[in-house]
Structure 1
């Protein structure tokens, strides 16, 4: 009976994302620490290393994971054939209207990132996967949620990221917290 109630409280999200390699995670943490060093002490939750990512496309949220959608999304992702590219996260900003969310962003997103975003959207559309409506693509990595301080956009020590692939992730949110599972990964061609 407990499993029945636990399952009712589950929320499954699917999204495509870039996942930072350990050296990039270290750079993200260094930029975050530099930012925190010039701001008042914070409340709020820092994003764990294992959940750092840059979302390409969010596919939605369900009470049960839709396996047919996962399979179609994987087929679509395999159709994307683009070269890898460099990405520089060099700006911190606050997102959110109620809670303050701290993010790191590229001040000048590389055109290859937009190409990957568009190619993946086209591949998903070809599989009849409809993307939920949402804001325009604003590439970022969230580093803190529910922060107690807001700030205007500001430079941070640059994080150099060689993007070599992308992944499909499942986010499982329960009363016990949130965890991610990688459901598939696709390399980009050597760039």
Structure 2
């Protein structure tokens, strides 16, 4: 399984970017889009607003692959099948950006312990199944990207709260020039 270094590689037709994510429902997507547009209007950061269909919160990033290894999706799904965690509530209530990045995001000021547990147990299950993951850095920084290619940094600021009942997670296959494909969905069960 060989990850690809850059999305700008010449042979992009076979490129697959795989990740596990939390996937908002349509009502939440509309609320996120409204907050993102309000932030753009108020701060004029330049860049581009993401399509609401692309909103997600990455849990575990598997990497970029070209070609896609035959067993990778099956192994990742088998690892996810072992997770048995309850649903939980989270609120997107702040916006910000990471230093050195050109994205703005929405996040939560109070990370639910269930979110950290889901991230941690998923990482353990993927490691047991020998599915490679790309590290987030030193710690999990849950966020939902709303703008790309912005010209300036934004310090964290509160936004109108958007409640999110997290009752499932998904495996996503992102391919250049195409919509995200949800490969499979796993419900969180009480």
1:1-191 aligned at under 5 Å gives the runs 8-10=11-13, 11-39=15-43, 41-95=44-98, 97=100, 99-135=101-137, 136-173=139-176, 177-190=177-190
Matched residue, 1:3 = none
Q: Bigger CA drift: 73-82 or 8-17?
A: 8-17
Q: Provide the TM-score with structure 1 as the length reference.
A: 0.88
More strand by percentage: 1
How big is each residue's C-alpha offset from its partner over 1:100-132, in whole Å with a ceiling of 9 and x where there is no partner? 200001011100000100111111112122322
CA distance in 2, matches of 1:36, 1:84: 32
Query: What is the number of equivalent residue pairs in this alignment?
Result: 180
Unaligned 5+ runs, structure 2: 1-9
Structure-2 change in CA distance of 1:169 and 1:96 (3 Å): farther
2:6 corresponds to which residue?
none
Unaligned runs of 5+ in 1: 1-6
Query: After the TM superposition, which parts of structure 1 deviate over 3 Å for at least 4 consecutive aligned residues?
Result: none
Q: Is the 8 A contact 2:99 2:153 kept in 1?
A: no
Q: Aligned to 1:112, what secondary structure does the other structure show?
A: helix
| Deviation per residue, 1:124-163 (Å, 9 max, x gap) | 1121223223312100000000012322111111110000
CA-based RMSD = 1.8
Q: TM-score, normalised by structure 2?
A: 0.88
Go from structure 1 to structure 2 and tell me whether the alpha carbon gap of 1:24 and 1:78 turns closer, same or farther (over 3 Å shift): same
